[in-house]
A and B are shown apart, each in its own frame.
Chain A
Amino acid sequence: MSPAPVPARKLRVATTSLAGCFGCHMSFLDIDEHLFELVELIEFDRSPLTDIKDVGPCDIGLIEGGVCNAENVHVLREFRRHCKTLIALGACAVNGGLPAQRNHLPLSECLREVYQFRPGLENGQIPNDPELPLPLDKVRPIHEVVRIDYFLPGCPPSGPAIWKFLTDLIAGRTPRLAGGLLHYD
Chain B
Amino acid sequence: MSALPATPTDALDGILQRHGHYPTELLQILIEAQDLEGWLPAPTLTHIAQALHIPRSRVEGVAGFYSFLYTQPVGRYRVLFSDNITDRMLGNAELMDALCRKLWIEPGKLSEDGLVSIATTSCTGLCDQGPGMLVNGRAIGQLTHRRINEIAEMIRQQRPLDLWPAEYFQISDNIRRKDSLLNLDMKPGAALSAVVEMGREGWLREVQTSNLRGRGGAGFATAVKWASARNASGEPKVIVCNADEGEPGTFKDRVLLNSYADLVFEGMTLAAWAVGASEGFLYLRGEYRYLLPQLEAVLARRREAGLLGRHILHEPCFDFDIRIHLGAGAYVCGEETALIESLEGKRGTPRIRPPFPVTKGYLGRPTVVNNVETLAKTCLIALGGGEAFAASGTAQSAGTKLLSISGDCAEPGIYEYPFGVPIARILEDCGASDTQAVQVGGAAGVCLAGYEFQRRIAYEDVPTAGAFMIFDGTRDLFDVARAFVHFFAHESCGFCTPCRVGTSLLQGFMDKLADGHGAKADLADIDWLDRLLKNASHCGLGSAAPNPVIDTLQKFRPAYERRLVSLDFEPAFDLDAALAEARQLTARDDPGAHLQTHEEEEK
Judged by CB atoms under 8 Å, the answer to whether A and B touch is: yes
Interface residues of A (CB under 8 A from B): 70, 73-74, 77, 80-81, 106-108, 111, 126-128, 130-131, 133-138, 144-147
B-side contacts of A135, CB under 8 Å:
579, 582
| B578 and A137 form a contact (CB under 8 A) | yes
B-side contacts of A137, CB under 8 Å:
578-582
| B599 and A134 form a contact (CB under 8 A) | no
Interface residues of B (CB under 8 A from A): 521, 568-569, 571-573, 575, 578-583, 585-588, 590, 592-593, 595, 599, 602
The smallest C-beta distance from B591 to any residue of chain A, in angstroms, reads 9
Given contacts A146-B569, A147-B521, A147-B568, contact A136 B588 (CB under 8 A): no
Which of A131, A135, A136 has most B Cβ within 10 Å?
A136
Which among B521, B573, B580, B585 is the interface contact of A144 at CB below 8 angstroms? B573
Sample (25) of A-B pairs whose CB atoms are under 8 Å apart: A70-B593, A73-B575, A73-B595, A80-B599, A81-B599, A107-B581, A108-B581, A108-B585, A126-B585, A126-B586, A128-B587, A130-B593, A134-B579, A134-B586, A134-B592, A134-B593, A135-B579, A137-B578, A137-B580, A137-B582, A138-B578, A144-B572, A146-B571, A147-B521, A147-B568
A-side contacts of B586, CB under 8 Å:
126-128, 134
Given contacts A108-B581, A145-B575, contact A133 B521 (CB under 8 A): no
| B590 and A130 form a contact (CB under 8 A) | yes
- A103 CA to B580 CA in the complex, in Å? 15
Question: Which single residue of chain B is at the shortest CB-CB distance from A131?
Answer: B592
- A146 CA to B566 CA in the complex, in Å? 12
Given contacts A70-B579, A137-B581, contact A130 B588 (CB under 8 A): yes
- A144 CA to B517 CA in the complex, in Å? 12
- A147 CA to B599 CA in the complex, in Å? 12
B-side contacts of A131, CB under 8 Å:
592
Question: Which single residue of chain B is at the shortest CB-CB distance from A112?
Answer: B585
B-side contacts of A73, CB under 8 Å:
575, 595
The smallest C-beta distance from B528 to any residue of chain A, in angstroms, reads 15
B-side contacts of A127, CB under 8 Å:
586
Additional 9 contacts, C-beta under 8 A, given A134-B586, A137-B582, A145-B575 = A77-B599, A80-B599, A106-B581, A107-B582, A108-B585, A133-B592, A134-B579, A136-B582, A144-B572
The smallest C-beta distance from B116 to any residue of chain A, in angstroms, reads 28
B-side contacts of A128, CB under 8 Å:
586-588
| A136 and B569 form a contact (CB under 8 A) | no
A-side contacts of B602, CB under 8 Å:
74, 77
Majority secondary structure, A binding face: mixed
Question: Which single residue of chain A is at the shortest CB-CB distance from B519?
Answer: A147
Question: Which single residue of chain A is at the shortest CB-CB distance from B602?
Answer: A77
- A135 CA to B584 CA in the complex, in Å? 12
A-side contacts of B580, CB under 8 Å:
137
- A130 CA to B575 CA in the complex, in Å? 18
Given contacts A70-B595, A77-B599, A147-B521, contact A134 B569 (CB under 8 A): no
- A128 CA to B587 CA in the complex, in Å? 7
- A74 CA to B591 CA in the complex, in Å? 13
- A108 CA to B585 CA in the complex, in Å? 7
The smallest C-beta distance from B588 to any residue of chain A, in angstroms, reads 5
B-side contacts of A77, CB under 8 Å:
599, 602
Given contacts A130-B592, A145-B571, contact A107 B599 (CB under 8 A): no
- A133 CA to B581 CA in the complex, in Å? 13
The smallest C-beta distance from B486 to any residue of chain A, in angstroms, reads 22
The smallest C-beta distance from B564 to any residue of chain A, in angstroms, reads 14
| A136 and B599 form a contact (CB under 8 A) | no
Question: Which single residue of chain B is at the shortest CB-CB distance from A80?
Answer: B599
The smallest C-beta distance from B596 to any residue of chain A, in angstroms, reads 9
| A134 and B582 form a contact (CB under 8 A) | yes
- A138 CA to B582 CA in the complex, in Å? 11
- A77 CA to B592 CA in the complex, in Å? 15
The smallest C-beta distance from A149 to any residue of chain B, in angstroms, reads 11
| A111 and B592 form a contact (CB under 8 A) | no
The smallest C-beta distance from B509 to any residue of chain A, in angstroms, reads 13
Given contacts A130-B592, A134-B588, contact A147 B569 (CB under 8 A): yes
A-side contacts of B581, CB under 8 Å:
106-108, 137
The smallest C-beta distance from B571 to any residue of chain A, in angstroms, reads 5
Which of B580, B582, B595 has most A Cβ within 10 Å?
B582
Question: Which single residue of chain A is at the shortest CB-CB distance from B592?
Answer: A130
Question: Which single residue of chain A is at the shortest CB-CB distance from B521?
Answer: A147
| A136 and B579 form a contact (CB under 8 A) | yes
The smallest C-beta distance from A151 to any residue of chain B, in angstroms, reads 15
- A9 CA to B580 CA in the complex, in Å? 46
- A77 CA to B585 CA in the complex, in Å? 26
Question: Which single residue of chain B is at the shortest CB-CB distance from A146?
Answer: B569
- A81 CA to B581 CA in the complex, in Å? 28
The smallest C-beta distance from A103 to any residue of chain B, in angstroms, reads 12
- A137 CA to B586 CA in the complex, in Å? 13
- A78 CA to B580 CA in the complex, in Å? 23
The smallest C-beta distance from A180 to any residue of chain B, in angstroms, reads 27
| A107 and B595 form a contact (CB under 8 A) | no
| A144 and B571 form a contact (CB under 8 A) | yes
- A145 CA to B576 CA in the complex, in Å? 12
B-side contacts of A80, CB under 8 Å:
599
- A131 CA to B568 CA in the complex, in Å? 32
- A126 CA to B584 CA in the complex, in Å? 11
B-side contacts of A70, CB under 8 Å:
579, 592-593, 595
Question: Which single residue of chain B is at the shortest CB-CB distance from A130?
Answer: B590
The smallest C-beta distance from B505 to any residue of chain A, in angstroms, reads 13
Which among B521, B568, B585, B588 is the interface contact of A107 at CB below 8 angstroms? B585
Question: Which single residue of chain A is at the shortest CB-CB distance from B580?
Answer: A137
- A19 CA to B387 CA in the complex, in Å? 75
The smallest C-beta distance from B522 to any residue of chain A, in angstroms, reads 11
A-side contacts of B569, CB under 8 Å:
146-147
B-side contacts of A108, CB under 8 Å:
581, 585
- A137 CA to B575 CA in the complex, in Å? 10
A-side contacts of B582, CB under 8 Å:
107, 111, 134-137
